[in-house]
Chains A and B, each alone.
Chain A
Amino acid sequence: NAGVTQTPKFRVLKTGQSMTLLCAQDMNHEYMYWYRQDPGMGLRLIHYSVGEGTTAKGEVPDGYNVSRLKKQNFLLGLESAAPSQTSVYFCASSLTLYEQYFGPGTRLTVT
């Protein structure tokens, strides 16, 4: 039981490039989330999903897109990366409306 996994662990992009972050969970959780973590800002919700085929905007959705084609996977896309998107990205999942379990994070630098 691996829990929540994220790939890649590290990535460096140039401004304007695109990329996709992959999150996978093997706990059969309905709910999945993408957060970004910046110094002094805590964790901020980007997008979330309440089930396969559904997505919704969180607190800071601009510049990101997501897809949940399979229950176990939640993809986060950056169409045209900007330096302001340099951050650590965390995926989380939950079975109920309460306890969220986090992945190890992806460290993204945009130059």
Chain B
Amino acid sequence: KQEVTQIPAALSVPEGENLVLNCSFTDSAIYNLQWFRQDPGKGLTSLLLIQSSQREQTSGRLNASLDKSSGRSTLYIAASQPGDSATYLCAVNSGNTPLVFGKGTRLSVIA
């Protein structure tokens, strides 16, 4: 059964820092890996989707990498801003199984 772990659970950084969020999964036979952002009391916003054949995806200041063989993904945020403060969720799905989520990393960027 797929399990997704996100480290750290919480992170506080000063504005302007580059940071890395980590995600690991137990079953490397994944179909997709998706990173989401969730603001307090809000829904999930998809940030980046990495298909199993891809190694990374970039969107603006965000870069996500995928190493299927080792069961790991990282989300790199460059030049962090207070508006980046949110919970970041990593999720994977394997063929016919639905997305399985990690417990998230709660990020605070201090001005």
Q: Do A and B come from one complex?
A: no
